[in-house]
Amino acid sequence: MSFGDIGKFFGVVEDVSPDISYVVDIPSEVEIVVYSPNAKVIATIFRGDQGPGKYKVRWNGRDEFGKPVLRGDYIAEVRLGRERLQRKRIVWPPE
């Protein structure tokens, strides 16, 4: 039984979609990176400066070279400046 199955059994639903939402409070350098479960960088989705606001990006399930990734779990990390702001689990392909 997987963690997702256990969570569903207890009524806990985790968003494992490829949609990544985040908030920028002050103008910041933002980087969004997707990692494999063994901490290998799979893709950098975005890197650049962003002003204050709410943002949402969608990972397309491809690596740095544009190749489709294998089925499985991945981790998206949103970094603001040198801080690590948010991590999110993504299950690919989406259900």
Which CATH number covers residue 32? 2.60.40.4070
Where is pLDDT greater, at 57 or 11?
57
> In terms of residue numbers, what domain contains 20?
15-92
Judge whether 59 lies within some domain: yes
Average pLDDT over residues 17-31: 95
CB contact set of 88 (below 8 Å; sequence gap of 6+) = 15, 20, 75, 76, 77, 78
**Does the pLDDT at position 6 exceed 70?**
no
**pLDDT tens by residue, 29-66:** 999 999 998 999 999 999 999 999 999 999 999 999 99
- pLDDT for 12 beyond 90: no
Q: Please report whether residue 31 resides in a domain.
A: yes
The count of domains in the chain is 1
Closest-CA residue to 24 (of 46, 50, 59) = 50
- Angle CA 48–44–62, to nearest 5: 140
Structural domain includes residue 1: no
Q: Classify residue 34: in a domain, yes or no.
A: yes
